[in-house]
């Protein structure tokens, strides 16, 4: 059975992250449908809106997050005229909140990205995660909200960055064969800083490491990507985690988002217990 193909136009008056994430999540539920997604972000004036809507009839669906009523009406009216289905993504939620609070929405685009205390906390957390990547500035490990530990290529760095975006100061420490973590790691562990271990299957790690070596132009470093060597590393890592009672997450089939959610779950359990 041939796969159905659809063109979808996304329009946002801010970064477009909300509408993109929502549509991609929805599209993933229809594996037989191929979606060609076009995003126009930071659309905040009528001239720009007219330009991007001039060929709206070539799309199968339009989804938008526009707070300006006049611009939102332009999208709706143009789509109606062209007989193209159109969805105002946030309208149902906004209407529910207005009914709940008895007040109207602020009507300003991108308010979730305004500079407030939470935003500054995220910026600081991102700066912290970058400065402590792979154990750099290890003396500051005691300041972490969580420390991720694992062998090479277990997604420690991207998970730390993702957690940082959520305001969690995450540091990562690599487990290197025949080498102990820095003393500051054990000091942070004794001080009660939560530590989470990351592992993955030997096959997956071998694939990722081979790709990494090729991208660096150093495929001759074979031991790094050999399955047997990786199995030994993982066995040593599991013994390390067991010795220090460190909870473990297998990231083999997890996305970065799923790994970060699992880390947050472990942190929540520690806070409760």
Q: Hey, what CATH topology would domain 117-272 get?
A: Rossmann fold (3.40.50)
Whether residue 112 has pLDDT greater than 50? no
Please tell me if the domain spanning 4-112 has the same topology as the one spanning 117-272: yes
The predicted-structure confidence for 116-163, as pLDDT tens digits, reads as follows 456 556 657 666 666 666 555 556 788 899 999 999 999 898 898 888
pLDDT at 26: 84
pLDDT at 139: 63
Whether residue 47 has pLDDT greater than 60? yes
Token pair listed for 241: 């985690």
Give the residue extent of every domain in the chain: 4-112, 117-272
Whether residue 110 has pLDDT greater than 80? no
Judged on CB neighbours under 10 Å (0-12, 13-18, 19+), 212 is: middle
The secondary structure element, H or E, covering residue 6 is strand 4-12
Token pair listed for 38: 């076009």
pLDDT at 109: 54
Q: What is the CATH number of domain 4-112?
A: 3.40.50.2300
Sheet containing 195-199: give its strands across: 170-174, 146-150, 195-199, 248-250
Question: Rounded distance, CA 106 to CA 137, Å?
Answer: 42
Question: Rounded distance, CA 57 to CA 83, Å?
Answer: 8
The pTM assigned to this predicted structure is 0.58
Q: Residue 192, by phi and psi: left (phi above 0), alpha (psi -120 to 50) or beta?
A: left
Tell me what the pLDDT averaged over the chain comes to: 84
Whether residue 108 has pLDDT greater than 60? no
Neighbours of 166 (CB within 10 A): 14
């Amino acid at each position: 059975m041939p796969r159905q193909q659809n063109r979808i136009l996304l329009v946002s008056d801010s970064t477009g992250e909300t509408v993109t994430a929502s549509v991609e999540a929805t599209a993933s539920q229809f594996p037989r449908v191929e979606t060609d997604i076009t995003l126009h972000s930071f659309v905040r004036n009528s001239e720009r809106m007219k330009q991007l809507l001039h060929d709206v009839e070539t799309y199968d669906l339009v989804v938008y997050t526009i707070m300006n009523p006049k611009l939102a009406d332009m999208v709706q009216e143009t789509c109606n005229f062209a007989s193209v289905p159109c969805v105002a993504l946030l309208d149902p939620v906004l209407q529910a909140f207005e009914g709940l609070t008895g007040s109207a929405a602020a009507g300003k685009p991108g308010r979730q990205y305004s500079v407030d205390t939470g935003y500054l906390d995220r910026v600081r957390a991102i700066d912290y995660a970058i400065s402590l990547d792979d154990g750099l500035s290890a003396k500051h490990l005691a300041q972490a909200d969580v420390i991720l530990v694992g062998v090479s290529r277990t997604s420690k760095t991207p998970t730390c960055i993702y957690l940082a975006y959520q305001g969690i100061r995450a540091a990562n420490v690599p487990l290197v064969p025949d080498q102990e973590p820095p003393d500051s790691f054990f000091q942070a562990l004794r001080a009660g800083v939560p530590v989470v271990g990351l592992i993955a299957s030997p096959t997956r790690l071998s694939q990722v490491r081979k790709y990494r070596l090729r991208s660096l132009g150093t495929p001759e470093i074979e031991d790094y990507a050999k399955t047997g060597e990786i199995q030994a590393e993982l066995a040593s890592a599991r013994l390390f985690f067991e010795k220090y009672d460190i909870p473990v997450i297998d990231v083999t089939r997890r996305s970065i988002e799923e790994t970060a959610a699992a880390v947050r779950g472990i942190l929540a359990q520690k806070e409760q217990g």
